[in-house]
Amino acid sequence: MKMDLAAITEAFARKGPVILLESQSSDHPWSKKSYIAARPRAEITAFGTKIRIISREGTQAFQANPWEALKVFRKQYGGWLFGYLGYDLKNQIECLQSKNPDPVGAPDLYFMVPDFIVEQDRGASQSTLIHGSWPPEGISEGATFSSDEFDVRVFRPRQSMSDYLSRIKKAQKAIFEGEFYEINLSHQLRGEFTGSPFALYQKMKKNGPVPFGAYLQTPDFAVCSQSPERFLRKEGNLIFTQPIKGTAQRGRSEQEDQALKAALSHSAKERAENLMIVDLVRNDLNRVAQKGSVSVPRLFDIETFSTVHQMVSTVEARTRESDPVRILKSCFPMGSMTGAPKIRVMKAIDTLEKYRRGIYSGAIGYIKPWGDFDFNVVIRTAIIKEQNLFYSVGGAITGDSNPRKEWKETMIKAQALRNVLSRSEQQ
């Protein structure tokens, strides 16, 4: 059978939690499948160590390390898991804490065990029903996407350029003093949102397909992710990660575009930043890898998206660990979203940034019953809660960084969302 993924996702979103993981790029070699997950028979959320499990048997609330709670949840309920890992789960891995305000207020962790799962190969004429019945109860077999409207107003950064530049200079001072080598600094934009979050996601997708798109909706919030970056994938005992570090804007003509792409490819600064993160994630993989199995099959590839060119490398290993949650924990959060050395930089991020990152910089994906998994990196992502839209952007800061150029790069990244807003919505 062939299903309209947008129509089915929208129909489920009107009834309860739903997650769409979507391979949108027609020719991307690393992402070929899309999934819809809905009708959860069990859900787990975590706010710090406050765990809540909702199932058909009732509700449980207790205190625990969220990583350990997720392991137990997976074993207890079995089946596929779909959900996300928020950036601040780092606090439950290392001796870290986040004192910054959290304007979004979404859980640090959310996963569901769905009773309805559909898988669709990119470009295939048929969809595969993994779990559940077709058509789902209460949803028409011929459902079509209704293209509901949305409106975003007063979409702007929550801190001034001068404030961000000041924080970059503080970071560079710490770099010169030898505290760390590279740090990913981010800031947040906010807008007033009304209408359908899924309509926003569809418009974001139309503006520029990506290999690791994701839409997640619960009764409390929605996540529209147009991520070009993979955090971690496991197939059998092979695990691999694909950090992005290095960005150039698209050109206004083909000639200019190719020149900018070539400049990124040959930039000593961008290569140095990318290599630093490659070394970091190699170290992360080594925590669970078979001895001598970590390798870098692809280094400094350039991938092109609607508004930017980006430098991508691939690091892989053979894992000696079978527990998927333990593997994810060993590499979390993605090194491209922190800097190096990882723990010291994460402490500095909490000092230099104004807000907790929340879902941003985390990972959205699935875990299969036998332990294989695939997760993106939560970037290029709008989070909608209580008629507020939050969108974070950032970049790598080194001692050689030009603060004004770094601010400009974050605005280029924000352009991916600005492009989907009408002129009136940007007023």
Q: For residues 286-304, b (16+ Cβ closer than 10 Å) or e, as one string?
A: eebbeeebbeeeeebeebe
Distance CA 161, CA 158 (A): 10
Higher pLDDT, 366 or 427: 366
Distance CA 136, CA 146 (A): 18
- Is residue 227 a part of any domain in this protein? yes
- Is residue 216 a part of any domain in this protein? yes
- Is residue 146 a part of any domain in this protein? no
Is pLDDT at 32 greater than 90 in this prediction?
Answer: no
- Is residue 145 a part of any domain in this protein? no
In percent, the amount of the chain with pLDDT more than 70 equals 96
What are the tokens at 161? 């350029």
Q: Which domain holds residue 103?
A: 5-140+152-426
The band of 28, judged by pLDDT with boundaries at 50, 70 and 90, is low
When pLDDT is averaged across residues 305-331 and rounded to a whole number, the result is 95
In percent, the amount of the chain with pLDDT more than 90 equals 81
- Is residue 65 a part of any domain in this protein? yes
Higher pLDDT, 424 or 150: 150
The number of domains in the chain is 1
| CB distance 51 to 66 below 8 Å | yes
When pLDDT is averaged across residues 318-337 and rounded to a whole number, the result is 97
Question: What per-residue confidence (pLDDT) applies to 424?
Answer: 36
Question: What per-residue confidence (pLDDT) applies to 426?
Answer: 44
Question: What per-residue confidence (pLDDT) applies to 427?
Answer: 39
What are the tokens at 187? 């800031």
- Is residue 23 a part of any domain in this protein? yes
Is pLDDT at 52 greater than 70 in this prediction?
Answer: yes
Is pLDDT at 69 greater than 60 in this prediction?
Answer: yes
When pLDDT is averaged across residues 350-365 and rounded to a whole number, the result is 98
- Chain segment 227-260, per-residue pLDDT in tens: 999 999 999 999 999 999 998 999 999 999 999 9
Distance CA 152, CA 173 (A): 38
What's CA 154's distance to the chain center, in Å? 24
Question: What per-residue confidence (pLDDT) applies to 137?
Answer: 80
The band of 125, judged by pLDDT with boundaries at 50, 70 and 90, is low
- Chain segment 335-349, per-residue pLDDT in tens: 999 999 999 999 999
Residue 126 burial class via C-beta count within 10 angstroms: exposed 0-12, middle 13-18, buried 19 and up: exposed
Question: What per-residue confidence (pLDDT) applies to 422?
Answer: 58
Query: SS3 of 8, please?
Result: helix
The band of 143, judged by pLDDT with boundaries at 50, 70 and 90, is low
- Chain segment 147-184, per-residue pLDDT in tens: 678 999 989 999 999 999 999 999 999 999 999 999 99
| CB distance 104 to 189 below 8 Å | no
**Which CATH number characterizes residue 78's domain?**
3.60.120.10
- Chain segment 265-304, per-residue pLDDT in tens: 999 999 999 999 999 999 999 999 999 999 999 999 999 9
When pLDDT is averaged across residues 6-17 and rounded to a whole number, the result is 92
| Residues whose CB is less than 8 angstroms from the CB of residue 154 and which lie 6 or more positions away in sequence, other chains included | 190, 191, 192, 427
Is pLDDT at 423 greater than 60 in this prediction?
Answer: no
Alpha carbon separation from 87 to 19, 102, 214, 225, 345 (Å, rounded): 19, 12, 17, 15, 14
CA dihedral 21, 26, 31, 37 (to 10 degrees): 20
Question: What per-residue confidence (pLDDT) applies to 79?
Answer: 94
Is pLDDT at 65 greater than 50 in this prediction?
Answer: yes
